[in-house]
Amino acid sequence: MSELIFVGMGLHDENDISLRGLEEVKKADFAFAELYTSFMKELRIGKLEKLARKKIKMVSRRMLEEENGEEILAAAQKGKTIFLVPGDPLVATTHVDLRINAEKIGVKTRIIHGASIITAAIGLSGLQNYKFGRSVTIPFTHNLHVSETPYAILKTNRKAGLHTLCFLDIKAEEKRYMTIKEALGILLEIEEKRRESIILGNTLVVGIARAGSKNPVVKSGMFHKVLNYDFGAPPQTLIFPGKLHFMEAEALTKLADAPESIKQLIR
Instruction: Indicate the pLDDT class of residue 243, thresholds 50, 70 and 90.
Output: very high
pLDDT reported for residue 91: 84
**Is 144 a residue whose pLDDT tops 90?**
no
Q: Residue 152: in which H helix or E strand, if any?
A: helix 149-159
Between residues 124 and 61, the one the model is more confident about: 124
Q: Which phi and psi angles does 80 have, rounded to 5°?
A: -65, 120
Q: For residue 229, give the 3-state DSSP assignment.
A: coil
**pLDDT (mean) for 154-178:** 95
pLDDT at 92 over 80: no
pLDDT band with cut points at 50, 70 and 90 for residue 118: very high
pLDDT over 90 (residue 264):
no
Give percent above pLDDT 90 in the chain.
91
Q: What angle do CA 212, 43, 24 make, to 5 degrees?
A: 90
Q: Report the percent of the chain where pLDDT is more than 70.
A: 100
Region 35-64: what's the mean pLDDT?
94
Helical packing angle, 70-78 and 93-104, nearest 10°: 40
pTM exceeds cut of 0.75: yes
Between the CA of residue 194 and those of 198, 234, 253, 258, what are the distances in Å?
9, 29, 31, 28
Contact 209, 234 (CB under 8 A): yes
Q: Please state, in angstroms and rounded to a whole number, the distance separating the CA atoms of residues 7 and 114.
A: 7
Predicted local distance difference test score (pLDDT) of residue 266: 79
Q: What structural domains does the chain harbor?
A: 3-112 (3.40.1010.10), 117-265 (3.30.950.10)
Bond preceding residue 235 cis, omega within 30 of 0: yes
Can you tell me the mean pLDDT for 170-181?
A: 93
Q: Within 13 Å and on the Cβ side, how many CA atoms surround 148? A: 12
Q: How far is CA 84 from the centre of its chain?
A: 15
The backbone torsions φ and ψ at residue 56, rounded to the nearest 5 degrees and listed phi first, read -115, 125
pLDDT at 129: 95
| pLDDT (0 to 100) of residue 35 | 93
DSSP lists the bridge partners of residue 82 as 5, 31
pLDDT digits (tens, 9 = 90+) for 177-215: 999 999 999 999 999 999 999 999 999 999 999 999 999
Question: Which residues, including other chains, have CB under 8 Å from residue 114's CB and lie 6 or more apart?
Answer: 7, 8, 9, 10, 11, 16, 17, 18, 21, 85, 86, 87, 88, 89
Instruction: Give pLDDT, residue 265.
Output: 78
Average of per-residue pLDDT across 33-58: 95
Look at residue 28 and give its three-state secondary structure: coil
Asked if the model's pLDDT at residue 1 lies above 90, the reply is: no
The predicted structure's pLDDT at residue 263: 83
CA–CA distance, 157 with 152 (Å, rounded to integer): 9
